[in-house]
Amino acid sequence: MPELPEVETVRRGLQPAMEGSKILKAEARRKDLRFPFQKDFIARLEGQTVTGLGRRAKYLMADLGSGDVLLMHLGMSGSFRVLDGVNDSAPGQFHHPRSEDRAHDHVVFHMSSGAAIVFNDPRRFGYMKIIARNALEDEPLLKDLGPEPLGNEFDAAMLAASCANKKTSLKAALLDQRVVAGLGNIYVCEALYRSHLSPRRLAATLATKKGEPTDHAGRLVNAIHAVLNQAIKAGGSSISDHRLTSGELGYFQHSFGVYDREDEKCQTKACGGIVRRFVQNGRSTFWCPKCQK
């Protein structure tokens, strides 16, 4: 499933075509994706100007002039294409290639900018929902989300406080969207590797008995910041001219430290360990048993 850097890269790719532009026509070519479309889905979109395009965790959020917000989730296989009559682009870098089968083009926004924004989703685990801006705090999809990992409030003290009494593994805690929003399997593996912390380590060890952050918490927060910023920067720069085609290999695949590198030599200087894989909470975990403790 696309994680925070991929979703942020998609947002930056869509922004020039959507932000400040009016939705002249909207098409929903089926009745549902993961969930059914609202009965007034099209009516609440057409004629509305997208005043801003933001992101919360793994959600794209388009603010509309009406006061509504269009919430969009890519699911496992969803992607957008921007068709402007000159260059067609598919913003975003994904570890797994995106579909090019037009039979799975399920939603289309025709913008006053001259662009058409097409949402393609073969597996239909993505979804869209229109929510009144003043009702966002009570929206079930959003209200339990934790802090943004790149937000000013997310620091070692906050992470330690969230994990202080947890009896789960450190990896499971980081995947809990109530602890920190937007992280997924790939970037959790990478952050734990960079901070030299074992995915099997108890989450509670990020806090002292008094609840204060340990050195582990500080290292982990720094690693989360670094890997996300690096991934976003690389993904953003790669789509600056909107010429990507679906399925191209990008920064993420080539720069993994441990993810998908089972049986390869650890890249940590003077480590000499071998990257291993095991299944944890139903997902593949990649780590170096020698330098991650």
* Catalytic residue numbers, as ranges: 2-3, 58, 283
Using CA atoms, how far residue 183 sits from 22, 173, 186, 292, in Å, is 32, 10, 8, 19
Classify residue 135 as exposed, middle or buried by CB count within 10 Å of its CB (0-12, 13-18, 19+): exposed
Largest CA distance in the chain: 61
DSSP string, 134-184: GGGGG-TTTTT----TTSTT-SHHHHHHHHTT--SBHHHHHH-TTTSSS--
Give the alpha-carbon dihedral of 274, 275, 276, 281, to 10 degrees.
150
Neighbours of 115 (CB within 10 A): 23
- The C-alpha atoms of residue 10 and residue 271 are separated, in whole angstroms, by 36
Where are the strands (E) in 74-134, listed by range? Answer: 79-83, 88-89, 105-111, 116-120, 127-132
- The C-alpha atoms of residue 55 and residue 248 are separated, in whole angstroms, by 24
132 forms bridges with which residues in the sheet? Answer: 68
Cα 183 from chain centroid (whole Å): 7
